[in-house]
Chains A and B, each alone.
Chain A
Amino acid sequence: MNGTYFIELFLGGLTRGSIYALIALGYTMVYGIIQLINFAHGEIYMIGAFTALIVSSVLSFTGMSPVLIFIIAAIAAVVWAAGYGMTMEKIAYKPLRNAPRLSALISAIGMSLFLQNYVLLAQTSDFQPFPDLIPDLAFLKPIETIMNTTQFIILVTTAVVMVVFTLLIRYTKMGKAMRATAQDMVMAQLVGININKVIMFTFLLGSATAAIGGVLISSHIGQINYYIGFLAGIKAFVAAVLGGIGSIPGAVLGGFVLGLTESFGTGYISSDYEDVFAFAILIIILIFRPSGLLGKTTRKKV
């Protein structure tokens, strides 16, 4: 066994896992609050990537420094995708709040197809090159073969997002309101929480983290098309279920487990089976822990 190769796969797995985790957060939060699998969530990630592409293409004519362009494009992507997320909730899910969950699920699938085709019409099905805006960091030069700059940026950004996210959920008023609403929506209303605002904020937050994931992965891989949200969305959904849907630490853990499994699987076994590993690990974990790694078995105290 080769040590460097192992580390390379490990870091590659963490990078993938970061992206899965960023997207999985949105799935798990929305599920935690309104028990809906938001199948259009992957599309938000894709829209985030496209927004960054468009903004950076436009800004590249201004002669701004690439790093600045990247930051502005990322912020624009986050804001724009959050707007999409909230709008989606308002038109596709809110009217179905009291309908059976299956209706909302169908609505989510419809939303997903709509957004894919809408981007397909506007952007064609060709892969668009995503500009390389992140300059190589000098201190990574010696380990360039193991970890390049975009990987480093992905890992650092994800870590920062996770910390901010945790603080937000744990200590802010809105974060507490989100947790309260997830536990008991009726009681949340009875203490004066406006659940519509909480649900909207949940979509905003989930969409924003997904967009960050979209921007990061696009600059890592270097090309995007209208379909990237589909597979990433499914994988992130697997990550959320793997970790225990509804559990925020679970989504992060699930993302990393999935990323590492895929990375080691393709590295040591065969890259032909890349997607098989994701679903194989899902099946194996669900056999032993049906509610996911950190999921809770539903138990109610009377």
Chain B
Amino acid sequence: MLKIENLETFYGNIQALKGIDLHIEDGEIVTLIGANGAGKTTTLMSISGVVPPRNGKIILNGKDITGTAADDIVSMGLIQVPEGRRIFSELSVAENLDMGAFLRNDAAEIKRDMEYVYQLFPILAERRHQHGGTLSGGEQQMLAISRALMAKPKILLLDEPSLGLAPIIVQQIFDIIKKINQEQGTTVFLVEQNANQALKIAHKGYVMETGRITMSDTASNLLADDEVKKAYLGI
């Protein structure tokens, strides 16, 4: 589904990604774990076309999308829920969802999908006329995921969806991610610092350190790995 080859991205003269390779199959949940500053967010922003890479290739469904404009990438079904949620704080909850469906024109289906996300997160239905900025952190994360779902993603990129949330909300968010993957068949690429939770729902995992992929294996093997345990699971 998504293949990354030797991706290198720079901010000015600083190299953030030093040639990374990733491989995500259709229908999988793949996680990328690593510490702060490892380059996880840069990886996602490069894939989404916001920070264009200098070298390497990004291949989506067999098509080279390196250097494609961000909005065109969205139209191909690759949708990102960015770090920090980035809710349009002065748009209402419903308008935020409308924005998620920006490239779609099928009014009836958009409406049905909106009902679906309201079902998924009933709290959003209650707050549909409130400004996005008035929601709590957890509700904003729900809205951010819902907004992405409104775009009918074939592959969903999530950047630290658990960041700054209470444990009970984190659990709920991870359950939903799993549900989206199972029920809708959406491929998920999950970037997390919460390695434990991420590896539990993922099929496959990558470990990233200072711009490089240092390990890759099945999620269960990584969970059992001594080094991963020590560095990322706090065991």
Contact = CB atoms under 8 A, between A and B. Distances in A.
A187 B74 contact: no
A191 B91 contact: no
Interface in A174-197: 176-177, 179-180, 183-184, 186-195
A183 B88 contact: yes
Contacts, number: 63
A44 to B, nearest CB: 27
Given A186-B50, A302-B84, A193 B90 contact: no
Contacts of A301: 89, 133
Nearest to A296: B90
A179 to B, nearest CB: 6
A183 B91 contact: yes
Interface stretch (B53-61, B97-105, B122-130, B205-213): B97-105
29 contacts: A176-B91, A176-B99, A177-B99, A177-B102, A179-B88, A180-B88, A183-B88, A183-B91, A184-B88, A186-B50, A186-B82, A187-B82, A187-B86, A188-B99, A189-B70, A190-B50, A190-B70, A190-B79, A190-B82, A190-B86, A191-B151, A192-B74, A192-B102, A192-B151, A194-B71, A301-B89, A301-B133, A302-B84, A302-B164
B187 interface: no
B70 to A, nearest CB: 4
A191 B143 CA distance: 13
A187 B48 CA distance: 11
B133 A176 contact: no
Contact of B91 (A180, A192, A193, A194): A180
Q: Which 6 A-B pairs have the closest CB atoms?
A: A192-B74, A189-B70, A187-B86, A192-B103, A194-B71, A192-B71
Contacts of B86: 184, 186-187, 190
B99 A180 contact: yes
B80 interface: yes
Interface of B: 48-50, 69-71, 74-75, 79-80, 82, 84, 86, 88-91, 95, 98-100, 102-103, 133, 147, 151, 164
Contacts of B48: 189-190
Given A173-B102, A176-B99, A183 B50 contact: no
A189 B102 CA distance: 10
Contacts of A193: 71, 99, 102
Contacts of A179: 88, 90-91
Given A187-B88, A192-B151, 14 more contacts: A183-B89, A187-B82, A187-B86, A189-B74, A190-B50, A190-B74, A190-B80, A190-B86, A192-B102, A192-B103, A193-B99, A194-B69, A301-B133, A302-B84
Given A183-B91, A184-B86, A192 B75 contact: yes
Interface residues of A, number: 19
Given A176-B91, A179-B88, A301-B89, A191 B50 contact: no
B104 to A, nearest CB: 9
Nearest to A177: B102
A53 B42 CA distance: 54
Contacts of B103: 192
A176 B80 contact: no
A189 B50 contact: yes
A183 B48 CA distance: 19
Contacts of A180: 88, 91, 99
A159 to B, nearest CB: 25
Given A176-B98, A192-B102, A183 B90 contact: yes
Contacts of B69: 194
A213 to B, nearest CB: 27
User: Looking at A173, A190, A193, which has the most chain B CB atoms within 10 Å of its CB?
Assistant: A190
A186 B100 CA distance: 13
Nearest to B147: A191
Contacts of A302: 84, 164
